[in-house]
Structure 1
Amino acid sequence: MKLLRGFLWLLGFQLLGHVVVELLSLPVSHAMAGLLLLLAWLLVKRRLNESVATASQALIPLLAMLIMPGVVGVFFVIDEFAGHWMAIMVALGVGTFLSVLTTLWLMRRFMPEEAANADARRREP
């Protein structure tokens, strides 16, 4: 039941993001607005909802599949990219580097100290 409740929370925030983007005519995707609203809600509450955590953990293995529709959608507008390949490659390279760097920084910032020490001990010969 926690999993279903968590999915409903996530869906609710996505729908709320859709409403906010449409009402304010923001140049942001509906899902991103929903995630930002969820982040704001979690920061205000100062604790993670157990249902949302359960649903989020279930979605992590499917992350690549959730990204796939956006990647496939690029092929429908491929003609619009003609002549801009260098800019696209630089943007992809810099964006990938920055996202990996940000993920590493967040992981190190929020990982419990005991887990970080245990991980370091496993890597030592």
Structure 2
Amino acid sequence: MKLLRGFLWLLGFQLLGHVVVELLSLPVSHAMAGLLLLLAWLLVKRRLNESVATASQALIPLLAMLIMPGVVGVFFVIDEFAGHWTAVMVALAVGTFLSVLTTLWLMWRFMPREAANMDERNPRA
């Protein structure tokens, strides 16, 4: 039941993001607006909703499948990129680098210190 409740929370924020984007004519995807609203809600509450955490953990293994439709959709608009391949490649390289850098910073920021110290003492682990 906790998993279903978590999915309903996530879908509710996605729907709320859809409404906000449409009402304000924002140049942001509906899902991204919903995630930003969810982030704001979690920051205001200052604690993680257990149902949302359970649903989120269930979605992590499916992340590649959730990204796949957008990647496949590029093939339908491939002609739009003619003459812009340099910009596309630079954007992909810079975006990937910034994504990896952000992930590394977040790991350093939020990883428990005793786990980090244990890895330094035992390099085989």
For the criterion TM > 0.5, the same-fold answer is yes
Aligned to 1:98: 98
Give the superposition deviation at 1:111: 1.4
- 1:121 and 1:56 map into 2 onto residues whose CA distance is 33
Give the superposition deviation at 1:113: 1.5
- 1:111 and 1:56 map into 2 onto residues whose CA distance is 19
Aligned to 2:76: 76
- 1:37 and 1:121 map into 2 onto residues whose CA distance is 41
Specify every segment of 5 or more residues in structure 2 that has no aligned partner in the other structure, as ranges: none
- 2:94 and 2:18 map into 1 onto residues whose CA distance is 29
SS of alignment partner, residue 77 of structure 2: helix
TM-score by length of 2: 0.95
Deviations 1:13-57 (A, max 9, x none): 000000000000000000000000000000000000000011111
TM-score by length of 1: 0.95
Aligned to 1:38: 38
- 2:121 and 2:10 map into 1 onto residues whose CA distance is 37
Give the superposition deviation at 1:120: 3.1
Runs of 4+ in structure 1 off by over 4 angstroms are none
Specify every segment of 5 or more residues in structure 1 that has no aligned partner in the other structure, as ranges: none
- 1:21 and 1:81 map into 2 onto residues whose CA distance is 27
Quickly say closer, same or farther: Cα 1:120–1:7, change in 2 above 3 A: farther
- 1:37 and 1:122 map into 2 onto residues whose CA distance is 41
Percent identity over the alignment? 91
- Between stretches 107-116 and 83-92, larger displacement belongs to 107-116
Give the superposition deviation at 1:112: 1.6
- 1:114 and 1:12 map into 2 onto residues whose CA distance is 37
Quickly say closer, same or farther: Cα 1:122–1:67, change in 2 above 3 A: farther
- 2:36 and 2:22 map into 1 onto residues whose CA distance is 15
**How many pairs were matched up?**
125
